[in-house]
Amino acid sequence: MSPKRYRVGLIQMACGPEPAENLRRAAAFVEEAAARGAQVVCLPELFQTQYFCQREDIALFDLAESIPGPATDLLGQVARRRGVVILASLFERRAAGLYHNTLAVLETDGSIRGLYRKMHIPDDPLYYEKFYFTPGDLGFKAHDTTFGRLGTLVCWDQWYPEGARLTAMQGASTLFYPTAIGWHPAEKAEYGEAQYDAWRTVQRGHAIANGVFVAGVNRVGFETGNIRGDEAPGLGLEFWGGSFLADPFGRILAQASHDKEEILLGDIDLDLLETTRRNWPFLRDRRIDAYGDLPRRFLD
């Protein structure tokens, strides 16, 4: 039987130009989080590299790897040694010409419990993800693990209430959103505070509307998409950090800074989830007979 309470560790890290070093540091962060009592540890989106989607470059497909592969092998060893569940966001090579932005769930014995392939793929200035990633085809996923059923989504998914709802409806106690999101340097002064506030607010809304815990796990630091000395053109991105854990009432249980590497720790209490849903029974009162138009793009 899964425990009624478990501790999560959210890794807010900076990513450098050497993929092997980023993976080594990520494993060390997981080890530290586990030593501090974390039982489920989530890394930020695509942590093995600086955020390479700042440009479209066919050579960067060489960064992708199979699952299972080197990253899951190394992190699986850490999971087994420390007895933790690890959520790792990876650039997956599924086949020649077929790549995904994929989250692997590694169990306490080091095995791969499940995969989630990012469903919503952005295409914005300096976020050219449609060039690299095929949209996910596994649907929205909740995974049974040693510490309960965990919901996994990735970055751009965090703006869509449908993904949060469908994942929560599968019984997830926590929705994890590994993320790579930051400010355009020219926009930060005017829009930066509002952008971050919108990002955190929409995810707190998912927590409240679904009666679940939500973890937003971002990277931190200024990046030019430097991959082994090869930088993207342009002004770069300042990743805003600000990782957080919210409870089912939207209250912030743990909050990271905007400019430092940190390990956030927080407790998931399933009794609190039960109590919150009993008093705010949004799932009970949903009008499932009236939502037939949701699959339509727009109601003209």
Active-site annotation holder among 42, 155, 223, 238: 155
Instruction: Give catalytic status of residue 45 as yes or no.
Output: yes
- What are all long-range contacts of 108-113, with beta carbons under 8 Å and residues at least 24 apart? 108/79, 108/80, 108/83, 108/84, 108/145, 108/146, 109/79, 109/80, 110/76, 110/77, 110/79, 110/80, 111/76, 112/67, 112/68, 112/72, 112/76, 113/85, 113/143, 113/144, 113/145
Active-site annotation holder among 45, 107, 223, 238: 45
CA angle, corner 18, sides to 13 and 22, nearest 5? 30
DSSP-derived letter for residue 67 is S
Amino acid making up residue 188: K
Instruction: Give catalytic status of residue 118 as yes or no.
Output: yes
DSSP-derived letter for residue 283 is H
Active-site annotation holder among 42, 92, 118, 141: 118
Q: Which residues are catalytic?
A: 45, 118, 155
